[in-house]
Chains A and B, each alone.
Chain A
Amino acid sequence: MKKTFVKKGLREIWAHKVQYFLLALVIGMGVAAYSSFNDFARYRKDGLDQIFSESNFMDLQVTMNYGETMTTDEVHQIFEENGLSNEVDEWEMRLVYDVFLKHVVDDEIKITKGQVMGQMVEAGSTPGDTVTVNTPLFYVDDPEGYSSEDVQECYIERKFSEAYGIDPGSSINVNRGNTSMDLFIVEQVAVPEYFFVMREGDLAPNEWAFGVLLLPLDTAMDLYTEGENDQELVNDIVLKVSKGVVIEELETKIQEAFEEKGVAVKFTGRDENPSRNFLISDYENDKESMNIFPVIIFIVSAFALVMALRRMIRTHRPQIGIFKALGIPDRAIMVYFSAVGIVIALAGTVFGYLLSIPLNMTFMNIGKSMLDFPVDNYNITYIYYLYGALISLVLCLSCTLIPAALAVRVKPIDVIQGREGVSKKQISRLGEVLGTTSFLPVSLKLTIRNQIRKPFRSLSTVVGVGISLALFLGFMMVLQSAMVAMGGATSELEWDYEVRLEGFQSQDMMTYLPTEYSEIEQVSRSILIPSILDPEDDEYGALIYASEDLEDIFKFDISQGKIREGMIIISEYHSDRLGLTPGDKLSLELPVLDPSYGYSMELIQITVGGIHTNHMGSYAFMSLTTMQNITGLHGMINVIHILTEADVDIRDLENDLITREGVSSVTHSSENADLMEQYMDILIGTVIVMAVISSILAGAIVYIMFRISAREQERDYATMKTLGTSMRKIAKLIFQEAAYITVLGIGLGVIGGYGFSYLMLDRPEYEAMNIEILFNWPAFIAGSIMISFIVMIVSLFTLRYIAKINIANVIRERVAG
């Protein structure tokens, strides 16, 4: 008996193969999205684990402050005398210092800030052979080693090398102070501290602004000491601590041990490394966002599946009644429906696996360009594909069995005699609802009542159309809103150059610049300090800009209050979160300079002077004198903003600024435009992918629903044709219904698009950015045209189906229910 029912199920699928094929395709998209997205996330996670494991990434970095160095023997001695060697498994001493890298870009000399890492490596070997902590990773299997101690060679960090096309085999000019050295580039490497090129204070990776070179310690010393010192000097130690050692306690011991020798040190923990931090948080956030897609697709699939199976079950109700009358148990009848569910699930899984091939390839390419690590671990994780298949099976079975279970509850006699139907109460209510459309022309009445009488079917179609548009529109809105916010944030910066200094320096250090460069209009001195607002209760991070010419270097949009001496301007974001208005007191953590003890972090109370609505919600502002008075940094600054005339020769000024003593970095505002250009490239690629996904989804759902609708109304159409209704007039009914669905679907798509945008932007990294969700008209128009076109094509298919209806057969069928 069960075999017979399974065969019947398969025959049902074959009879409506296109509809079930599309249903399986939609489920397949869900399976593919789930499997590939998770696999990609796993690939990224494995990649991260692998690079940090293969490079034996440090637990702790100890850096000597204020340009101090020690000989390797001295460091060894400190470790031995203080028992530190027992608490450390492995450690590496390096000489790390900043340099200027001179290279050619567009036939012009460009000077980029860089870093040299002198490592204890012998001639003939590579840093990968002998460096045990933060071991550089190579992109080639058999990298070249240093040829001899006499030849000046280096390894170059890959991203910087790629950014400027500085290839192995060429040379790069390295400058420190008055010493210059040409280094032959042996190979490209991945430097563990800079798997993404980020330094402290950077908001995003920037391989254009910073290059890292690895050299033998001797060569590094030649440049550092101008060849005047033959002792091995180091200023940086990276170490792996022994099991069970408490890092904080070790830090205290190291600090005391070094201070005893008159050297101040600072620590960077494993998780404080900016590059590592960025990689991990980026991975975690993306993983969270990507999970939204399969969930949405599975929801749409479930809607379509329930609709298709409800229709199938409705068609088979008289049969169910007969089977029940013949004494066939409910379980056996349900096997029939389960067979349909299982076949769709299996077909969906197969489609999913097939679709995951191009998806995986796409991700692999994205992965390779985005995460250019010297590890290749893009292999399939079968468990996600198995889970994808299981989700598909559970989804299909539950969507099948629930309507089937309801169907087998009917009384056989009611079904056989066609006595099923709505109750009197329902009839009365339905009559009232349908009656509200009685003023309409008859064709519109039919269209609207058809939707009212089959709300679930209508809702599913509208939801299918709506979600497809929402996906497309939402994504475009997120991108546009983010771009506009970024553009807005950029336009709020009136400065042309931001020059960050190494530590705090005298505020008079660059006052001479306008006299040297006539193109410079204004030099504004600032203090930039990251701080924590309300650290005792809420703890909100903020970047405080204190400048002497605030309104010249930033464009302000102040909604409440104004800039006042002795007060702070906070963002709307902080004002909302902390419940502060102008006049309220705010506590914030700032370094305070005590001439006797140096810096100490202290809690400062300050009055809120105003609220700004600028795009960077993490920014707070005050005047330079206010900051100097609070912190005791009288006459000190750490940032200089430069305003220039429009046609200034940027490269000359840039090269000049970057090489000035005490300058840490020079950023030109045009670099933001480059970043925007990169986002545009991503945008175009994303739009194409989203358009394809949305079209397939919309096409499949609309086709399934319209076909179900046409089948449900087959008898009505056959009757209309018998009565002499022309195909042109039937087409009018079909297109009216299509237009009705499209309009509602587009409406839902707009709401969904907004919802989707909020969902995507509701992430910690966007929270502090004042991103206003913008409606993307071009995307809306393009999406609506795309959806309308799909609906029109499907309507033409439906019309073809209706034209082929065998009137004679259909009108003689008995109506059940």
Chain B
Amino acid sequence: MNTDGEPLIEARNMSKSYQMGEVIVHALKDVTLKVFPDQVTVILGPSGCGKTTLLNQIGGIDSPTGGKLLIDGQEIQDLSQKKLTKYRQSKIGFVFQFFNLIPNLTAKENLEFVLEYVMDLPSKEVSRKGKTLLDQVELGDRGDHYPYQLSGGEQQRVSIARALSKDPKILLADEPTGELDYETGKKILELLVSFANNGRSVLIVTHNKELGKIAHRVLHLKDGRIVQEIMNEHPLSVSKLEW
């Protein structure tokens, strides 16, 4: 585990507040953290503690209201919408709890949408890379199926393949096993963990404490603050994980 070099994600006293009716909600308070390449980081905490809000700030789909957020050395808190889009396109891969596949496209086309329409790759490469990614998530024979024809686990694998298709530096997964059964969930975790190499990082948000065992770093969030940070020199292999 490399913690000596430059962090891939660095938050300095980051906060996020928003107005809810007449009340101001402080979703994140003074969050400071560092995430290094090749690491799996798990963010734990009860519902409403700010886990997803933290993930959204890192993913660039929301902007902090205070402090600094540096991703790969670039400050992103003040980026314009256009630059944030570019940032999400080049650096971030998202895996959602409810998969969020485009229902009118097949599994393969969901990947091709990103490769062709977002990444602007030439059509030959789109086809080749799409196939490779599907094989990588063991769905080579299910590429022509629409999301509603796939199981939850299959949909989540497509979702991971889609996230990987952009070859991002950071993979963000929000409750990736929340909708899946135990065995399927484990397979998905294996896929996610395998991503954290070659300078890439994985951040997993979950309320399942057991998942912390597979992470290099575990952040405990409570009321928008990091209340505990645990470093794990030897994370547990996913195959040995039980919950």
Residues in chain A within 8 A of chain B (CB atoms): 421-422, 427, 430-431, 434-435, 438, 441-443, 445-446, 449-450, 453, 715-716, 718-727, 729, 803, 807-808, 811-815
Contact = CB atoms under 8 A, between A and B. Distances in A.
A722 B103 contact: no
Nearest to B93: A723
Interface in B99-134: 100-106, 109, 112-114, 116-118
Contacts of A718: 100
B82 interface: yes
B183 to A, nearest CB: 20
Contacts of A716: 102-103
A31 to B, nearest CB: 38
Contacts of B103: 453, 716
B45 to A, nearest CB: 16
A807 B85 contact: no
Nearest to A724: B89
Given A434-B104, A434-B146, A812-B52, A721 B85 contact: yes
A723 B52 contact: no
A808 B114 CA distance: 19
B117 A807 contact: no
Contacts of A441: 116
Interface in B135-172: 144, 146, 148-149, 162, 166
A718 B88 CA distance: 13
Nearest to A447: B104
Most chain B Cβ neighbours within 10 Å, of A441, A723, A815: A723
B56 A808 contact: yes
B59 interface: yes
A722 B90 contact: no
B61 A446 contact: no
Contacts, number: 103
| Chain A interface mostly | helix
Given A722-B61, A807-B61, A808-B61, A442 B105 contact: yes
A715 B92 contact: no
14 contacts: A431-B149, A442-B113, A445-B105, A449-B104, A453-B104, A719-B96, A720-B102, A720-B113, A721-B88, A723-B89, A724-B88, A724-B92, A726-B89, A811-B100
B100 A715 contact: yes
B97 interface: yes
A441 B82 CA distance: 25
B72 interface: no
Contacts of B52: 808, 812
Contacts of A431: 146, 149
A57 to B, nearest CB: 69
Nearest to B57: A808
Given A449-B105, A725-B85, A727-B85, 12 more contacts: A421-B148, A430-B146, A434-B146, A442-B109, A445-B109, A453-B103, A719-B101, A720-B102, A723-B114, A807-B62, A808-B52, A811-B98
Given A441-B116, A442-B109, A443-B117, A721 B61 contact: yes
Nearest to B174: A812
Give the top 5 A-B pairs by smallest Cβ distance, nearest first.
A724-B89, A449-B104, A724-B88, A719-B100, A807-B61
Nearest to A430: B146
B104 A446 contact: yes
B36 interface: no
A227 B234 CA distance: 135
B94 interface: yes
B117 A724 contact: no
A715 B103 CA distance: 10
Interface of B: 52-53, 56, 59, 61-62, 81-82, 85-90, 92, 94, 96-98, 100-106, 109, 112-114, 116-118, 144, 146, 148-149, 162, 166, 174
Contacts of A438: 106, 109
A430 B146 CA distance: 10
A445 B110 CA distance: 11
B102 A722 contact: no
A815 B118 CA distance: 24
Contact of A719 (B82, B86, B102, B174): B102
Given A724-B166, A812-B174, A445 B104 contact: yes
A720 B162 CA distance: 11
Contacts of A453: 103-104
Nearest to B113: A442
Contact of A724 (B85, B100, B102, B116): B85
A500 B162 CA distance: 87
Contact of B85 (A726, A813, A815): A726
A560 B118 CA distance: 67
Contacts of A722: 59, 61, 88, 94, 100
A555 B128 CA distance: 73
Contacts of B92: 724
Nearest to B168: A724
A726 B102 contact: no
A733 to B, nearest CB: 9
A434 B145 CA distance: 11
Contacts of A813: 98
Contacts of A434: 104, 146
Contacts of A719: 96, 100-102
Contact of B117 (A721, A725, A808): A725
A730 to B, nearest CB: 10
A729 B118 contact: yes
Nearest to B62: A808
B88 to A, nearest CB: 4
A453 B102 CA distance: 13
A801 to B, nearest CB: 15
Contacts of A446: 102, 104-105, 113
A445 B81 CA distance: 27
A814 B62 CA distance: 20
A422 B109 CA distance: 21
Contacts of B174: 812
A445 B113 CA distance: 10
B90 to A, nearest CB: 7
B109 A725 contact: no
A723 B105 CA distance: 15
Nearest to A452: B104
